[in-house]
């Protein structure tokens, strides 16, 4: 019998509860006993003050459901029970009600059932608690933890936390034979226990809002923290614009600038400071002021600067929000305010991405436990994500690489530090710089400059405007002329085409829908002559088509008639944007993530009504055409209950 314990450690992050739920339910479905450890490593060290009487029955027989002699603390769900399924255990129900401190005082290692973790998916923070344990840092504390695991029969530990928490787990595993021998010598465990539990399986899940773990693209909690930051900056932007103010926003992240950089891109900030890529100049204050001055001269009413809490200059001197504000006030005479977002970044319900990521990684963690149970000498894995695939990497290699990144920053080897981040990180920084700073030094020669038409086709999707803004800004930076085609192909035929400027698209990052206008009219034999005439009239050298399956159909038709019209012999690029996420050969389409988040928020709201009414059922229909992407991932993120098929007796 595999007995798995799961704990959360270090700073809390949204999605930890979803990870715990996933490990528990997957473990139960694989015939494992699953425990949660309250208060992280501190709970593992403390154990249970009075060990509860072993469960009186490993199985619950159906006749016992109506028995008056059944223990009062053993609850059952309304679903039919199999002969070996127990839905909830004594005391565990208090976890989901937030009553654990009073109901489970002195009890830290709790066996849980299927229903005990039911509500965990949509809850923020960690319902089983977390502490930064000083006692676990000591050898004696880890020995107590080993003793508590052995007396509960636990032979596998799944840890959700940051690099420090995962390092602690690996250290416990490395010392495990020493702890077993010491406990046997002191008669705290029996020889049989020492033989049975001579190995400890460790599997790591990364729970961190900083997204600072190497060898994985995204950590549990980082997407939700980014949501919180973007929501806050959106709110700040309106008041900043109203008063023509500058705001300096400090975000979390320690030695990682992921939150600051991605928030800067997502909110249309004017400048970001991150620790891995400090300003290249000693007089970075002058560079900052010049960048904001140029933006103001273009007509911007507000200025947003985002600074990571670990931001430094190239000489490793800290760059603080208050100092930046004083520079903007003194040199540019801007009315400047400082906002430190603090722990609002950690709190709140997890976004859809964190719920889905934590669930999939929790499943993989249990699979890793089962595989290691057959090969206990195998290396402890870290469950991560790379290029949208759940992966396993050596736990300590990931931790050591993360620590190497901090050393690279300390050694001023910033190029190496950037290379140790995920592959998108450097690309994101370059994209932010190219679309934010008015830098004429990288313009192409006149002979290479193009007139590029940008068109939205099909149904609107979140992100269409942000993509257009980026395309327009990059075109201008490189010397191209961006031309907006309003109202899709219909607008092109009507001649609704005009140049877009740098300031015109400034606010488009946060706007939903389609600022250019879109419809489902497609090129055809009836209108191709008019489309070609307009392409020639506006001297278009290329087209950027943003949309879903309708773009594919458009390009397919245009390609079929290209030989008849020389005007169509131009580069045409499709940027997938559809909530259905049904464009072939790409894993993500713009708008699909926003759509799932809207679905999750709606389902969270109607679940409250369903829970209050008890007998009420909601049937939710999603969009998506013939693609089940929204329905499937939405179901995974909102605790969908699989329906039981009907059987009609003959």
> Which residues belong to the active site?
210
Provide the sign of the torsion angle of the four alpha carbons 597, 602, 605, 606, taken in this order.
negative
Per-residue 3-state assignment (H helix, E strand, C coil) for 368-387: HHHHHHHCCCCCCEEEEEEC
Q: Are 16 and 207 in contact (CB under 8 A)?
A: yes
Q: Specify which residues 35 forms β-bridges with.
A: 5, 111
Pairing of strands 336-340, 246-251: parallel
Give the largest Cα separation in the chain, rounded.
Answer: 91
- Specify the residue for token string 């799944």: 158
Q: Specify which residues 108 forms β-bridges with.
A: none
Could you tell me the two tokens for 115?
């229903």
Residues across the chain: 650
Could you tell me the two tokens for 511?
């706007």
**Burial per residue of 410-432, b for 16 or more beta-carbon CB atoms within 10 angstroms, e otherwise:** eeeebeebbebbbeebeebbebb
**Which residues have C-beta within 8 Å of that of residue 574, sequence separation ≥ 6?**
545, 547, 551, 552, 555, 583
**Which residues have C-beta within 8 Å of that of residue 254, sequence separation ≥ 6?**
210, 212, 309, 310
Cβ atoms < 10 Å from Cβ of 562: 14
Could you tell me the two tokens for 349?
């319900």
Q: Sort 64 into a burial class: Cβ within 10 Å, 0-12 / 13-18 / 19+.
A: middle
Could you tell me the two tokens for 517?
């206008």
Task: Kindly give the interhelix angle for 464-478 and 423-436, rounded to the nearest 10 degrees.
Answer: 70
End-to-end Cα distance, the chain: 41
Pairing of strands 109-111, 33-37: antiparallel
**Beta strand spans in 441-541 (E):** 451-457, 481-485, 497-499
Question: What's CA 342's distance to the chain center, in Å?
Answer: 18
Helix (H) or strand (E) holding 110: strand 109-111
Q: Are 20 and 36 in contact (CB under 8 A)?
A: yes
**Burial per residue of 576-601, b for 16 or more beta-carbon CB atoms within 10 angstroms, e otherwise:** bbbbbbbbeeeeebbbbbebbbbbbe
* SS3 at position 393: strand
Pairing of strands 389-394, 381-386: antiparallel
Cβ atoms < 10 Å from Cβ of 626: 7
Q: Are 271 and 214 in contact (CB under 8 A)?
A: no
Q: Specify which residues 203 forms β-bridges with.
A: 158
Of 300, 302, 205, the residue nearest 247 (C-alpha):
302
- Specify the residue for token string 């928030």: 263
> What gap in Å lies between CA 588 and CA 582, rounded to an integer?
9
User: What one-character DSSP code corresponds to residue 333?
Assistant: -
Pairing of strands 109-111, 389-394: unpaired
């Amino acid at each position: 019998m595999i007995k798995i314990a799961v704990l959360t450690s270090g700073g809390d992050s949204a999605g930890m509860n979803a990870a715990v739920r996933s490990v528990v339910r997957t473990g139960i479905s694989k015939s494992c006993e699953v425990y949660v450890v309250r208060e992280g490593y501190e709970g593992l060290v403390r154990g249970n003050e009075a060990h509860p009487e072993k469960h009186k029955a490993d199985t619950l027989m159906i006749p016992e459901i109506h028995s008056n002699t059944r223990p009062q603390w053993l609850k059952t769900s309304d679903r039919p029970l199999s002969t070996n399924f127990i839905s909830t255990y004594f005391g565990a129900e208090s976890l989901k009600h937030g009553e654990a401190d009073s109901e489970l005082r002195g009890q830290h290692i709790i066996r849980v059932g299927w229903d005990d973790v039911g509500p965990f998916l949509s809850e923020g923070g960690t319902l089983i608690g977390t502490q930064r344990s000083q006692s676990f840092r000591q050898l004696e504390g880890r020995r107590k933890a080993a003793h508590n695991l052995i007396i509960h029969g636990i032979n596998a530990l799944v840890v959700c936390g940051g690099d420090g928490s995962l390092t602690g787990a690996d250290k416990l595993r490395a010392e495990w034979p020493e702890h077993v021998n010491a406990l046997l010598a002191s008669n705290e465990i029996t020889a049989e226990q020492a033989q049975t539990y001579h190995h400890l399986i460790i599997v790591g899940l990364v729970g961190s809002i900083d997204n600072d773990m190497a060898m994985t693209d995204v950590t549990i909690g980082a997407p939700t923290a980014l949501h919180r930051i973007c929501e806050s900056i959106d709110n700040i932007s309106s008041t900043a614009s109203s008063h023509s103010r500058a705001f300096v926003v400090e975000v979390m992240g320690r030695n990682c600038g992921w939150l600051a950089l991605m928030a800067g891109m997502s909110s249309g900030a004017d400048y970001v400071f991150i620790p891995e890529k400090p300003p290249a100049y000693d007089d970075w204050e002058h560079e900052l002021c010049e960048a904001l001055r140029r933006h103001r001269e273009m007509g911007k009413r507000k200025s947003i600067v985002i600074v990571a809490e670990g931001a430094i200059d190239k000489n490793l001197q800290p760059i603080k929000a208050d100092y930046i504000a004083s520079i903007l006030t003194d040199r540019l005479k801007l009315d400047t305010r400082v906002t430190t977002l603090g722990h609002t970044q950690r709190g709140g319900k997890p976004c859809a991405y964190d719920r889905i990521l934590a669930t999939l990684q929790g499943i993989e963690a249990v699979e890793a436990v089962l595989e290691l149970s057959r090969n206990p000498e195998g290396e402890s894995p870290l469950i991560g994500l790379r290029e949208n695939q759940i992966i396993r990497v050596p736990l300590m290699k990931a931790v050591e690489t993360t620590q190497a990144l901090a050393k690279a920053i300390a050694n001023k080897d910033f190029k190496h530090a950037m290379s140790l981040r995920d592959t998108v990180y450097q690309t994101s920084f370059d994209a932010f710089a190219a679309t934010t700073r008015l830098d004429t030094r990288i313009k192409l020669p006149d002979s290479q400059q193009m007139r590029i038409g940008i068109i939205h086709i099909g149904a609107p999707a979140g992100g269409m405007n942000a993509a257009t803004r980026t395309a327009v800004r990059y075109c201008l930076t490189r010397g191209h002329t961006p031309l907006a085609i309003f109202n899709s192909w219909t607008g092109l035929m009507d001649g609704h085409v005009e140049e877009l400027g740098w300031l015109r698209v400034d606010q488009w990052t946060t706007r939903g829908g389609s600022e250019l206008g879109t419809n489902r009219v497609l090129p055809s034999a009836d209108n191709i002559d008019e489309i070609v005439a307009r392409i020639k009239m506006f001297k278009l050298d290329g087209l950027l088509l943003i949309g879903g399956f309708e773009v594919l159909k458009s390009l397919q038709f245009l390609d079929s008639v290209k030989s008849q019209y020389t005007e169509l012999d131009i580069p045409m690029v499709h940027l997938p944007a559809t909530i259905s996420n049904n464009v072939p050969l790409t894993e993500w389409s713009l708008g699909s993530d926003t759509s799932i988040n809207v679905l999750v928020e709606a389902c969270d709201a109607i679940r409250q009504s369903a829970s209050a009414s008890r007998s009420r059922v909601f049937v939710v229909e999603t969009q998506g055409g013939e693609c089940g992407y929204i329905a499937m991932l939405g179901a995974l993120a909102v605790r969908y209950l699989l329906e039981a098929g009907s059987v009609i007796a003959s």
